[in-house]
Structure 1
Amino acid sequence: MNTLITPLKPAHRDSVLRADCDGQTLVGLLSEPVLAASDTGVLLIVGGPQYRVGSHRQFTLLGRALAGAGVPCLRLDYRGMGDAQGDQRDFEQVDADIAAAIDAWQREHPSLKRVVLWGLCDAASAALLYVHRRRDPRVAGLCLANPWVRTATSLARAQVKHYYLDRLRQPAFWRKLLSGRVGLGAVRELLGKLAQSRAPAPAADTRHYTEQMADGLRAFGGPVLLILSGDDVCAREFQDRCRDGGPAWQGLLNRPGLRREDLPDADHTFSTAAWRAHVERLTAEFVRGVPAVA
């Protein structure tokens, strides 16, 4: 007897959404629920140099998972990235791109009332800079994964604290050193990192992008989901900045409305299926709980 197998219907549909930004075209891929969609969508900002698919397709999979959970998600190529027009730019220069994407999304889908910005690494930094500079009332929440706060000094401090000091505590390192299997170059690198980690912050840091990020996080009125990987230097630098970054950063991890989720074994891009699924669940749950903008 032949059994007729009915194919499963997809829980989402994908479409291209284009936006004009200062005369240049941005390209986004919009994943939407097939059934009724939430009036809150996720604008997934992609850090550079990268485009909307992401490493190991993480952004494609995240966008479709959210759509399957009832949350529309727009993955954006800002100017100079992927299929978008314009010159390449970094995360400090994409405020206009984010605003243009929200404008186009609401124009084509009037049911969209509010947006959650989602960013990994320097895209999380871009989200904080955007809410700091634009105060856009349409942004109702932030999902920040391993935010980028790097300076040469912060990287050196994180490497010394979380990598080199751990190595110095390992008997195997000293056995290799005494046996000649650790080269002089590695020893010189360690000494160089120690010297760099003790360097004072440069005078230009008076209004460094990290301080603007801190201002954005402190002043933002909506809820924030902060996801930190355990096996990631960027996450360690962010935690160090929150603890040792001066008055601008003091108390930020305890601000009202901030929910912190640690993935102790995860790497920077949540590269396993289990880590990816965990982030998808956290994001969908968070977005469903975002209140309407007053």
Structure 2
Amino acid sequence: MRHQLSFDCEGAALAASLDKAAGSTGLLIVSGGNEIRSGAHRGMAMLAQRVAAEGYSVFRFDRRGIGDSEGANGGFESSGPDIAAAIAAFREVTPQLTRIVAFGNCDAASALLFHRPPALDALILANPWTYDGESEEAADEPALPPASAIRARYLSRLKDPGSLLRLVKGEIDLRKLLRGLLAIKTPAAPAAPDSLAARIDGAMATLDVPATILLATGDRTAQAFMENCPAALNRVPVERLASPSHSFVGEDSEWLAQRILEILK
């Protein structure tokens, strides 16, 4: 059964949803970008219902300044107090919990890595955000894939007569094409020590709880993570899905639910 509630975070009232179940393990869902707790295409709301039906309570919330929550939106890097307050509220309304697993996609995965509240027992990190600046959900201009992925894509298209015909007919967005060609030409600079990618790599190296990485390998954010943080792929288990869906929508939602349920068990 789904309940709507609110809890306090540094004087701001945050909105939350609880799909309650009888089990002693619960799932905390942290939203990425500026998405509200229901997620893209209500994906997180449907995921919560699916997981709760298997006996695991699920807690979702809007961080400060997002959706139905009060306060100012400080972005994912300032969301540590929001996550900590959500965990405390989750435990208060489901006192039978002995284990909480947190799931985050995109910059929510990065937020969980940075803040890592000690009250969490495991992390599920999907398509971690490694670009400096706003996440793709929050930005007006979507991030480009890494150069290696762009090269592979353009080589594939050059071999496809249909793509060349679309270019001649003017059916290809020349602005996007130019951005892609410039990205190929520009050599990749090594990550600065204070860059987001370097900080995430460092956080992965010092994890003190079990973690699993989920990657939609056709998604540009996942591709950037694989290129920017290759060492992390050898530190923790990685599950890959051959899909471009950043938010695991449509048929990919069942794959996501199955991976999460395996970890909860």
Please classify the TM superposition score into its range, dividing by the shorter chain length: 0.7 to 0.9
The runs of 5 or more residues in structure 2 that have no matched partner are 134-142
For 1:118, the equivalent position in structure 2 comes to 103
Match for 1:280: what amino acid? A
Q: Distance in 2 between matches of 1:65 and 1:100?
A: 24
Aligned length: 255
The structure with more radius of gyration = 1
Q: C-alpha offsets along residues 107-146 of structure 1, whole Å, 9 cap, x if unaligned?
A: 3333223321101111111111112xxxx33211111111
Which residue does 2:240 correspond to in 1? Answer: 262
Distance in 2 separating the partners of 1:175 and 1:29: 50
Q: Which amino acid aligns with 1:240?
A: E
- Conserved? CA contact 1:113–1:138, under 8 Å: no
Listed one character per residue, the Cα deviations across residues 66-96 of structure 1 (whole Å, up to 9, x for unaligned) are: 1111111101110011111011221111001
Contact 2:193 2:199 survives alignment (8 Å): no
SS across alignment from 1:17: strand
% identical equivalent positions: 31
Secondary structure in structure 2 of the residue aligned to 1:110: coil
The Cα shift of 1:59 comes to 0.4
| TM-superposition CA deviations, 1:234-254 (whole Å, max 9, x none) | 1111111123xxxxxx2x212
State the alpha-carbon separation in 2 of the partners of residues 32 and 137 from structure 1: 23
The equivalences for 1:18-167 within 5 A come to: 18-33=6-21, 36-38=22-24, 40-131=25-116, 136-151=117-132, 155=145, 157=147, 160-167=150-157
2:228 paired with 1:241:
yes
Structure-1 residue corresponding to 2:137: none
Distance between the aligned counterparts of 1:142 and 1:277, measured in 2?
19
Deviation, 1:42, is 1.2
- Partner residue in 1 for 2:139: none
Distance 1:129 1:239 in 2: 18
Q: CA 1:234/1:108 → structure 2, altered by over 3 Å: closer, same or farther?
A: same
Partners of 1:58 and 1:86 lie apart in 2 by 25
Distance 2:176 2:95 in 1: 58
Shift of 1:262: 1.3
Equivalent-residue separation in structure 1 for 2:94 and 2:174 (angstroms): 61
- AA aligned opposite 1:119: G
User: Residues 167 and 67 from structure 1, CA distance in 2 versus in 1: closer, same or farther, beyond 3 angstroms?
Assistant: same
Say which SS state the counterpart of residue 206 (structure 1) adopts: coil
Question: Match for residue 200 of structure 1?
Answer: 189
Give the unaligned 5+ runs of structure 1. 1-12, 244-249, 289-294
Please name the residue that 1:210 is paired with: 197
Asked if 1:17 corresponds to 2:5, the answer is yes
Which residue does the alignment assign to 1:227?
A: 214
Question: For residues 180 and 144 of structure 2, what CA distance do their matches in structure 1 show?
Answer: 15
What residue is the counterpart of 1:5 in the other structure?
none
Note the alpha carbon deviations across 1:174-193, whole angstroms, 9 max, x for none.
Answer: 5566x575687666444422
| 3-state SS, counterpart of residue 139 of structure 1 | coil
TM-score of the pair, normalised by structure 2: 0.85
The separation in 2 between residues aligned to 1:233 and 1:16, in whole angstroms, is: 34
**C-alpha distance in structure 1 between counterparts of 2:261 and 2:101, whole Å:** 11
Deviation beyond 3 Å, 4+ runs, structure 1: 151-156, 168-177, 179-191
Change (3 A) 1:183 1:210: closer
